[in-house]
Amino acid sequence: MRDIGDLRRILERIDGRGYKAYRDLKGTYANEGLELHVDHVQSDPFAPPSRMRVRIPQSAALIPPELFGNPSRKRGLEDLLTREFAKAADRYAGKQGGTGKSGLVAIDSCGQEILKRTSMVVCEDYVEARFVAGLPAGGRRVHGRKAFRMLADEVPRAARASMVYSALDADRVRLHVESAEDQSTLRERLESLGLVAFVADGSLLPRMSGVSDMPMDRKSAVPFASPPELRTSVELPNAGTVCGMGVPSGVTLVVGGGYHGKSTLLRAIERGVYDHVPGDGRELVVTVADAVKIRAEDGRSVVQDDIHHFIGRLPGGEETRRFSSTNASGSTSQAANIVEALECGCRLLLLDEDTSATNFMVRDARMQKLVSRENEPITPFIDRVRELHDVLGVSTVLVLGGSGDYIDVADHVLMMRDYRLLEVTGEAREVARQLKSRRCAEGRSELSAVSERAPQPDCFSLPGRRDKVRARGRSLILYRKTPIDLSFLEQLVSASQTRAIARIMVYMARHCLDGSIPLSSAVDRVLEEIDANGLDVVSPFEGHPGELALPRKQEICAAVNRFRKLRVRQLQPL
């Protein structure tokens, strides 16, 4: 291993030379008990910045082992240290300006969710941050002195301020770690409690604005309070006893007037599949891990989905047991979204009338009379939602204000009034008794498990050494030249997850597909591999695995399903 003297000598030697001379830096340097790894050097000051790691042995970092003693604590701690490193890099680094990205020191950015990330590793032996750095340039020439200050002084300072336990706020660390553990524990326990979601009393659900995921100002927000009928208490490892609303499995309606907070509640439940940072307001809004938000998504591509339980024979006689479309309609896209969610093992569907296709949700009595059943391919969701639960064990939480017909098929009816939630099942039943719905049920065949589909390996072909699969922000992947649009995946929360999905697709294409393995099992295999060996396994970068955060199986499958070159073989029903 080289030391800091070697770093100085190299930089003195290449100072003023063309930028490519920075390549000589590649390697590892010891610097007063800390290691700096230069894994990849950028070719140009304007190119993506260089990839580096800084490692501090536990003999110096001294992080108490109980803070990373189980997977959820470890995830919480690594997430927090990433945030601390980002703050410290802001404070101590980034002062060596120049052309292009000169002087930049940055680590993956984090939002309100606590995700499993590749940006930080805490283990028994060391703590390691994976970051990027813009090696300083004047014009296109090496600026050796600035580079030395950055690598020998700024980076170590940022690292020591954020990765050494004594430099951190111990209470803050403990809170973050314990909160992650509480949320994960509660999520795992929901099923045995007979619940699909839990919303703690006092939670703060509304967000600052339509474009910010930060909590609304506490002074203007009405805190959540459970209706007494659904109030339950849960015992958490760190927070102790917590009270709140348990959403039971089954069919739950959330009704209420416009602008009374219905969608806000549903959105919080959607995001409850992830852990949230302390102070977010949704720390104890926890939902079963495989819940999927279902919406209409017209224009999406669909490849051989068996949607016949929702959509029968289409005009022109098109078969819907193998439905494909390059431009699905509102109702067919929503049906496809449900079928695909079921295919990858979802137990809770979340729907909001705001983002649903009206004709997919319900046909009222008059419309049933006017448009006869033979001329309407759709079996509306209202005629399937009970079976989804009773036959397949899949629950639904449904927000709506427009159709009272749903009262007949609901187990629980909740009402939002002025941002306060009431239990109104009794009242709703009484209304339904007085005002009978004139519509008749339209289910044609009995609902059964959906057929699985096996992706065909050749459609993912990746010739050449460079795979050319790239993520662009949160909502776009370019698979070679084919765009995959993820904008409507409301439970995909970070660009780092999208980058990981792109890598996972490549990994799956290379290692898991044989033409007969179902999509769901292929993704399970990758996730098992990640579970055993870390998210690093899907990264193309040796040493420095990039800025990845773990996506859910649901979003990975969703990305594959939206790939316009996808080809599948449909298998026998499950």
Q: Which residues contact ligand ADP (rule: CB under 6 A)?
A: 205-206, 220-222, 256, 258-264, 416, 419
Rounded to the nearest whole angstrom, what is the least distance from the CB of residue 256 to Mg ion in the complex? Answer: 9
Question: Does residue 264 bind Mg ion (CB under 5 A)?
Answer: no
Q: Where are the beta strands (DSSP E) in 475-532?
A: 476-479, 482-485
Pick one of ligand ADP, Mg ion, none as the site partner of residue 221 (Cβ within 5 to 8 A by kind): ligand ADP
Of 6-14, 174-182, 244-252, 263-271: span binding Mg ion (CB under 5 A): 263-271
Of 89-97, 241-249, 260-268, 292-300: span binding Mg ion (CB under 5 A): 260-268
Q: Please identify, using beta-carbon distances, which residue of 37 and 293 lies nearer to Mg ion.
A: 293
Compute how many other C-beta atoms are within 10 angstroms of the C-beta atom of residue 235: 11
Rounded to the nearest whole angstrom, what is the least distance from the CB of residue 112 to ligand ADP in the complex? Answer: 15
Rounded to the nearest whole angstrom, what is the least distance from the CB of residue 258 to Mg ion in the complex? Answer: 7
Q: Please identify, using beta-carbon distances, which residue of 209 and 375 lies nearer to ligand ADP.
A: 209
Q: Is residue 194 exposed (0-12), middle (13-18) or buried (19+ Cβ within 10 Å)?
A: exposed
Rounded to the nearest whole angstrom, what is the least distance from the CB of residue 266 to ligand ADP in the complex? Answer: 8
Q: Is residue 70 exposed (0-12), middle (13-18) or buried (19+ Cβ within 10 Å)?
A: middle
Binding mask 43-82 for Mg ion (x = CB under 5 A): ----------------------------------------
Q: Please identify, using beta-carbon distances, which residue of 258 and 464 lies nearer to Mg ion.
A: 258
Question: Does residue 191 bind Mg ion (CB under 5 A)?
Answer: no
Pairwise CA distance, residues 390 & 396, whole Å: 11
Q: Please identify, using beta-carbon distances, which residue of 281 and 545 lies nearer to ligand ADP.
A: 281
Question: Does residue 263 bind Mg ion (CB under 5 A)?
Answer: yes
Pick one of Mg ion, ligand ADP, none as the site partner of residue 260 (Cβ within 5 to 8 A by kind): ligand ADP
**Using CB under 5 A, which residues numbered 335 to 354 contact Mg ion?**
354
Per DSSP, the residues of 36-65 read EEEEE--SSTTSSPEEEEEEEEHHHH---G
Q: What is the 3-state secondary structure (H, E, C) of 85-147?
A: HHHHHHHHCCCCCCCCCCCCEECCCCCCEECCECCEEECCCEEEEEEEECCCEECCEECHHHH
Pairwise CA distance, residues 327 & 301, whole Å: 6
Q: Please identify, using beta-carbon distances, which residue of 206 and 551 lies nearer to ligand ADP.
A: 206
Rounded to the nearest whole angstrom, what is the least distance from the CB of residue 285 to ligand ADP in the complex? Answer: 12
Pairwise CA distance, residues 501 & 509, whole Å: 12
Rounded to the nearest whole angstrom, what is the least distance from the CB of residue 157 to ligand ADP in the complex? Answer: 41
Q: Is residue 19 exposed (0-12), middle (13-18) or buried (19+ Cβ within 10 Å)?
A: buried
Pairwise CA distance, residues 551 & 554, whole Å: 8
Pick one of Mg ion, ligand ADP, none as the site partner of residue 206 (Cβ within 5 to 8 A by kind): ligand ADP
Q: Identify whether the C-beta of residue 293 lies closer than 8 Å to the C-beta of residue 491.
A: yes
Q: Tokens for 137?
A: 């340039």
Q: Please identify, using beta-carbon distances, which residue of 404 and 545 lies nearer to Mg ion.
A: 404
Q: Please identify, using beta-carbon distances, which residue of 121 and 265 lies nearer to ligand ADP.
A: 265
Rounded to the nearest whole angstrom, what is the least distance from the CB of residue 416 to ligand ADP in the complex? Answer: 6
Q: Tokens for 440?
A: 């008749």
Residue 402 three-state SS: coil
Question: Which residues sit opposite 51 in a β-bridge?
Answer: 40, 132
Pick one of Mg ion, ligand ADP, none as the site partner of residue 380 (Cβ within 5 to 8 A by kind): none
| Number of residues that make up the chain | 574
Question: Which residues sit opposite 133 in a β-bridge?
Answer: 50, 105
Q: Please identify, using beta-carbon distances, which residue of 169 and 354 lies nearer to Mg ion.
A: 354
Binding mask 390-429 for Mg ion (x = CB under 5 A): ----------------------------------------
**Using CB under 5 A, which residues numbered 351 to 380 contact Mg ion?**
354
Q: Please identify, using beta-carbon distances, which residue of 100 and 404 lies nearer to Mg ion.
A: 404
- Interacting residues with Mg ion (CB under 5 A): 263, 354
